Amino acid sequence: MAGYFGANKYKFGVFGINCAGGMTPSRAPERWRADWDEMVEVATLADRSGVEFLLPIAKWHGLGGEADMWGRSFETFTQAAALGALTKNIGVFVTAHVSLITAAFAAKAITTVDHATHGRAGLNIVCGWNPDEFSPHGITLTGERRYDRGFEWYQIYAKMMEGGPKFDWKGEFFDLQGVITDPLPVQKPRPPVMSAAQSGDGQIFAARTADILFTALQSLDVASATVANLNNLAATYGRKPDVYVETQFVCKPTRKEALDYAHYYAVEMADPDAPAYFARQKARTMSSSTRTGDTVADRALAASLDGSKAPRYPGMFAGMYPVIGTPDDIVDELEKISALGVAGSTLVFLNYLQELPYFVQEVFPRMERRGLRAPVATG
C-alpha cells in the first residue's frame, strides 16, 4: 500500500504541536508552549491550507534542561479526536507506545477517531526509547526485542481490523482470548500505519508493518540509502511503504534574516542539555543494528549519539534536517529531497503559529508552480 493523503507529489505533516518545545530544543522565549488554543489555530490553518496530516509525539517525560522540552504534552488519542472534530480534511495521527497500550484498546480508539473524522485517522506505532518515560507506568523498557514484541502487537491489531470472528492469540509476548473489535474502521483495510524510526532494525519493522516509514534526515545521502534499503526490504514482504523525513524550516524574506534567526534560536539560545539527555537515553536502548553499524542510517545515528561531532545547530535535533532561507531557497531544497524518492516531510518551526502562515503564503504557491503541490480546492 502506498499513496495515502492525496495526490500532492510532496506532502507535509505538522509534527509535534502537542508538546511544549515542539521539536526544537531551544530556550528562546518565543518557543512553542503547546497552548491548546494556539494548537487548534495551527491545526485549522494547516487544514485550510491542504497540509496532509498532523503528527503528535507520544511523551511521558521531559528532556530536562532549562526549557524542559516535552515536559508538558497532550495525550495523542484524545488530542486526535478533538482536533479531528475541529478540522475537515486533514489526517489526524495518534502515536501509540506499543508497550503501554493494548492492541485491542488501540483498535477501538483508532476506529473511534476514524468514524468521528469520516476516515482521517492514522496510527503511528512507536516501540519506545526512553526508559524514564516508562517508569511512571511501572514498565521497564529495554532496547532488546522491542521490535519483535511490536511486530506481534501489530499482527494482533491488523487481524482485529480485518473483522471476522473472535480469535484467541497465543504468541511469544501475548496470550489473549476472545479478541474482536466492532465497529470496524471506515478506511480499509485499516487507517494508515506509520512507523517512526531510524535504525536498520526499525527499518525492518517498518518494512513488515508500515504504510509509511517516518525517519530522520541526517543528510541527503543517508536518506537516499534509507529509501533504497527500505524499498528492498519491503519488496520481500510484497509491500511498498512511503518514506517521510524530518525537516525543520526557517523561512524569511531574505537569506540573511533566515540564517540570523536560526543562529539566534538554535545556537545562541540552544538548550544543549535536552539533546544531551536525549542522546544518553537513546544510547541506553540502542537497537542492535545501530550497535553493529548495519546500515548507513545506523552509522549516522551512532555518530550523532556519541557526541564526537559538534552539531552546527545544537538547538536542533541531529535527525532533523534544517531547511533555512528565502521561500525560493526552501523550494529548491525540497525539490532535492523529493528527488530522493521521499513522499514528504515534517513541518517543524520554533513557533508554529508565528511561522506557518508565512510559509503557507510564500512556499506553497512556489511549490505549486514547480509541480510539487496542487492548489487547495475551494468551495
The residue within the footprint of ligand FMN, chosen from 199, 209, 281, 338 (CB under 6 A), is: 199
Phi, psi of 253 (to 5 degrees): -60, -35
Q: Which of 39, 127, 331, 372 binds ligand FMN (CB under 6 A)?
A: 127
Please tell me whether residue 201 binds ligand FMN under the rule CB under 6 A. Answer: yes
Any alpha helices (H) in 210-351, and if so which ranges? 220-236, 255-263, 273-284, 288-291, 296-305, 327-339
The answer to whether residue 198 forms part of the interface with ligand FMN (CB under 6 A) is yes
Answer whether 215's CB lies under 8 Å from 249's CB.
no
To the nearest whole angstrom, how small is the minimum distance from the Cβ of residue 73 to ligand FMN?
9
Which of these, 125, 43, 130, lies nearest to 89 by C-alpha position? 43
Nearer to ligand FMN, 202 or 327 (CB): 202
Closest contact distance (angstroms) between CB of 140 and ligand FMN is 15
User: Running DSSP on this structure, what letter comes out for residue 26?
Assistant: B
Residues from 221 through 280 that contact ligand FMN (CB under 6 A): 246
Residue 80-119 contact track with ligand FMN, rule CB under 6 A, x = bound: ---------------x------------------------
Task: Give least dist CB 325 to ligand FMN, A.
Answer: 23
Q: State how beta strands 175-179 and 167-170 pair.
A: antiparallel
Q: Left if phi > 0, otherwise alpha if psi is -120 to 50, otherwise beta: which for 121?
A: beta
Region of 227 on the Ramachandran plot (φ > 0 left; ψ -120 to 50 alpha; else beta):
alpha
Q: Which of 185, 192, 202, 241 binds ligand FMN (CB under 6 A)?
A: 202
Is 287 an interacting residue with respect to ligand FMN (CB under 6 A)? yes
Q: Which of 124, 128, 312 is nearest to 218 (CA)?
A: 312
Q: Whose Cβ is closer to ligand FMN: residue 281's or residue 351's? A: 281
List the one residue from 184, 216, 350, 372 that touches ligand FMN (CB under 6 A).
216
What does the alpha-carbon distance between residue 87 and residue 102 come to, in Å, rounded to a whole number?
28
Q: Which residues bind ligand FMN (CB under 6 A)?
A: 57-58, 95, 126-129, 196-199, 201-202, 214-216, 246, 287, 290
